[in-house]
Amino acid sequence: MGKGAISAGTVVALVLLAGCKAVAVDTDGGRPSEDGSGGGDGKPRATATRTPTDTPSTPSPPSTPSTPSTPDGPKSTPTPPPAPAKVLMERGDDGGQVRELQARLRQIGWFLEYPTGTYGPATTGAVENFQDKRGLPRTGATDTVTWQRLVGMTREPTRLELYAGGGMPPAPPDKRCLTGRVLCLAKSSRTLTWMIDGKAVSTMDVRFGSQYTPTREGTFSVYWKSRHHVSTLYDTPMPYAMFFSGGQAVHFSADFAARGYAGGSHGCVNVRDEKKIASLFAQVRKGDRVVIYK
């Protein structure tokens, strides 16, 4: 090609540059195209256009109904309030479970009286205070929640705790009490049962001797009765005294009537119900047996 001649490639390049960016062409086999990508082989590059395919798309499964929404988020189903606790005992009830309730409350200082087995004002007040201390509804009635809390804090009451003030059912009679006329005295139940030919005529609470002056156990007989007796050793009244072993006797005790089981005798058998001991004194004869057993 002569001097000053223009090559065909140059002409093509000038024509393309004068156009409106129709296609970017690389004529020198290495210069970057207008979009900044290298051709690499000197051939023109055209931008590929994606065309839709004829393959049918898989239909979407039907949507399940969603929980209705609120401005603050999905609407939730309200939780129903818990069912009220079942009432087990309340004012006016009586029985063994009430006595156990009172004994358990007494263990932790909420019930200051002796268990009676009757759900009265004192028991209601004690339960109210127990509930209030533990953030439970202050109803005064013992429901399942109150009972479970109380049981978890206490131990099972002993028989003596249940009947700390007396009233314990008498123990089964000793076989020696089943014939004849017998004052049948059970230390385990702290009771005296007057029996004639195996039949219980009357039963009363009694208090026996203390640890250091215990009441003797065994079979004895009444050898002396003294209606207005006064102890010469302790200078203490012993009305309705029925002596059965040395200086030990069954008699009425004003101290037992006033203090209950907080005290003890010097070996005698104390009775605190004066009417019952008066009736017994009138029935018992000299020579009637006295049986004292555990």
Known catalytic residues? 251, 268
Cα(first)–Cα(last) distance of the chain, in Å? Answer: 144
Tokens read off for 72: 């603050």
In this structure, are strands 199-207 and 73-74 parallel, antiparallel, or unpaired? Answer: unpaired
CA separation for the pair 131, 150 (Å, rounded):
10
Question: Closest by alpha carbon to 192, among 66, 288, 97, 128?
Answer: 288
Question: Closest by alpha carbon to 105, among 50, 60, 162?
Answer: 162
Q: 278-282 long-range CB contacts below 8 Å, 24 or more apart?
A: 278/240, 278/252, 279/202, 280/192, 280/194, 280/202, 280/204, 280/240, 280/250, 281/225, 281/227, 281/240, 281/242
CA separation for the pair 149, 282 (Å, rounded):
51
